[in-house]
Amino acid sequence: MKVMRLLSSLKHDESERGIFHLGRALVKREHTSIIISSSDTEHDLVKRLQRDGNIYHQLSLEKKSWLALRQILPLRRLIEQYQPDIIHMHSRTPAWILHWALRGAKLRQFPKLVSTMYGFYPVNNYSRALLNVDRLITVSDSVRDYLLANLKEIKAPPKSIIRIYRGVDTRNFPYRYNPSVYWLRRTFAEYPELEHKKWLLFPTIIGPEYGQEWLIDIVGNLCNAYPNIHIIIMDEDTRSNVIHEEFKQRIFALDLEDKFTFIGAKHNDMREWLAAANIVLALANQPESIGINVLQAIHLGTPVVGWDKAAFSEILQPLYPQGLVKQYNAKALCKIIHNQLENAMRPSITDLFTMQQMVDETMDVYYLLYKTKQVEAKRMGITDTDTDLLKDKSTSKRKRLSPVSKRFTLSK
């Protein structure tokens, strides 16, 4: 089985998309794994993929870039060269480039198409290419329900929508992991204000949808009962934008600056911060589709407090329901945090939401489609020795890849 996967970039995909683990699983099971993305061939992540046995090609498939259209012919040549059985699209721009690359491609048999919908994408023209597939994977029930709600008026929705949760590599995030003494000493040397404090970790940047305004309510309501409470924010202190500046000005106006520490947005030691925190906060105002930091924290055994909605609810309900805040207000939020600080109860060890589970379920999708493709090939009399695509078959395949609007009437 030959599986080709298309991505805009590798830099943000490791923790949420399982690119490396899925590629390793394909190679280990003696399949061919071909990965195409915009990342430079000298990048460490690319070298890691190649060490695992994946075939890598660099094409500029950057998100929402017209320059990506130049990659239609190069991608078509790669598809003709490898004749993949399955092509898996991980974002919208590569999906559109694939859509045009397959038109007129010389194929022994048309590949099965898989796409993954990672967020609450607008169901508009730009998202159409992700829907014109044999299998559509959503990363949570919330995303699936959102998609179905937006497609309810469509007479012919995608053939099959499958929910596969993102998973955590439990080898890298083992239960009850403790940061090393060296890491703690280095951290206290860099941030001496964190020593002997209760850490409430906000594992995201400051932004309009991330809920940082709730942090001020937390400190204001709990600092008297817990004078050693301290908010750690994974954002740069010096980053300049309107929302960031307004948040900092409000902290200074309330004389709370000694209760906040900014540690930067990018960390190779995310595991250490999540494990060392007393509580990890999941306060996004907009529905979250994945919640990977919440998953990592729970697998480490760190308590999480988050809103009872979207992915946070789907994760916390089965794994740590005492961390759910069912009412969307500061009083309910502070009450849950107070209870956690007063009677800390760690999440139990779990085998749910693991990377292995995610890989196995994705492989099941591949195997099912591959088996279907073999049956179709047998019916059409196609063998592995075929090298040319007959004209009538080419025409039928192009019809199959006709503009998506003929198959779906999408709301704009």
The token pair at 394 is: 């080419």
pLDDT at 89: 93
In a domain, 56, yes or no: yes
140/14 same-domain check: yes
pLDDT at 402 over 70: no
pLDDT at 65: 66
The token pair at 297 is: 């924290």
State the Cα–Cα distance between residues 177 and 180, nearest whole angstrom: 9
For residues 16 and 263, the model is more confident at: 263
Region 191-216: what's the mean pLDDT? 93
pLDDT at 411: 34
The token pair at 280 is: 């990890």
State the sign of the Cα–Cα–Cα–Cα dihedral 85, 89, 90, 94: positive
In a domain, 350, yes or no: no
Region 383-393: what's the mean pLDDT? 47
For residue 16, give the nearest of 66, 75, 90, 81 by alpha carbon: 90
Which CATH number goes with the domain that contains 252?
3.40.50.2000
% of the chain surpassing 90 pLDDT: 61
The pTM score is: 0.86
pLDDT at 395: 41
pLDDT at 394: 41
Structural contact between residues 56 and 50, judged by C-beta atoms closer than 8 angstroms: yes
The residue out of 288, 311, 342 marking a domain boundary is 342
The residue out of 311, 342, 373 marking a domain boundary is 342
pLDDT at 236: 84
pLDDT at 407 over 50: no
pLDDT at 391 over 80: no
276/377 same-domain check: no
pLDDT at 12: 60
pLDDT at 15: 56
Give the DSSP letter of residue 228: T
Reported as a pLDDT band with limits 50, 70 and 90, residue 151 is confident
In a domain, 237, yes or no: yes
pLDDT at 126: 77
pLDDT at 156: 46
* Domain region containing 189: 181-342
State the Cα–Cα distance between residues 140 and 45, nearest whole angstrom: 26
Query: Which secondary structure element, helix H or strand E, spans residue 304, and what is its range?
Result: strand 304-307
In a domain, 236, yes or no: yes
pLDDT at 109: 92
Task: List the helix and strand counts (H, then E) for the chain.
Answer: 16, 13
State the sign of the Cα–Cα–Cα–Cα dihedral 401, 403, 405, 406: negative
pLDDT at 325 over 80: yes
* 90-129: pLDDT as tens digits: 988 899 899 999 998 999 899 999 999 999 988 877 788 8
* 269-301: pLDDT as tens digits: 899 999 999 999 999 998 899 999 999 999 999
Cα-based distances in Å from 331 to 7, 168, 404: 42, 32, 48
**What DSSP line would sit under 95-125, residue for residue?**
HHHHHHHSTT---SSPPEEEEEE-S----SG
For residues 354 and 157, the model is more confident at: 354
Which segments of 14-169 does DSSP mark as H helices, in order? 14-17, 19-28, 44-51, 72-82, 92-101, 128-131, 141-150
State the Cα–Cα distance between residues 281 and 318, nearest whole angstrom: 18
Contacts of 305 (CB under 8 A, 6+ apart): 279, 280, 281, 282, 323, 325, 333, 336, 337, 340
In a domain, 366, yes or no: yes
89/188 same-domain check: no
Reported as a pLDDT band with limits 50, 70 and 90, residue 408 is very low
In a domain, 349, yes or no: no
88/213 same-domain check: no
For residue 201, give the nearest of 127, 114, 260 by alpha carbon: 260
157/76 same-domain check: yes
Give the DSSP letter of residue 353: S
* 152-198: pLDDT as tens digits: 655 445 668 999 999 999 999 999 999 999 999 999 999 999 999 99
79/212 same-domain check: no
**In the chain, what's the furthest Cα-to-Cα distance?**
78
Reported as a pLDDT band with limits 50, 70 and 90, residue 389 is very low
The token pair at 307 is: 């809103």
pLDDT at 159: 64
Domain count of the fold of the chain: 2
* 122-147: pLDDT as tens digits: 887 778 888 889 999 999 999 999 98
pLDDT at 403: 38
Considering only CA atoms, give the Rg of the chain: 24
Quick one: 3 exposed, middle or buried, by C-beta within 10 A (0-12, 13-18, 19+)? buried
360/234 same-domain check: no
Query: Could you tell me how many residues make up the chain?
Result: 412
Reported as a pLDDT band with limits 50, 70 and 90, residue 387 is very low
The residue out of 297, 321, 342 marking a domain boundary is 342
Cα-based distances in Å from 329 to 64, 214, 303: 36, 9, 20
127/207 same-domain check: no
pLDDT at 38: 86
Quick one: 356 exposed, middle or buried, by C-beta within 10 A (0-12, 13-18, 19+)? middle
21/129 same-domain check: yes
161/188 same-domain check: no
In a domain, 69, yes or no: yes
276/361 same-domain check: no
Which segments of 323-390 does DSSP mark as H helices, in order? 330-342, 355-380
15/85 same-domain check: yes
State the Cα–Cα distance between residues 86 and 56, nearest whole angstrom: 16
In a domain, 348, yes or no: no
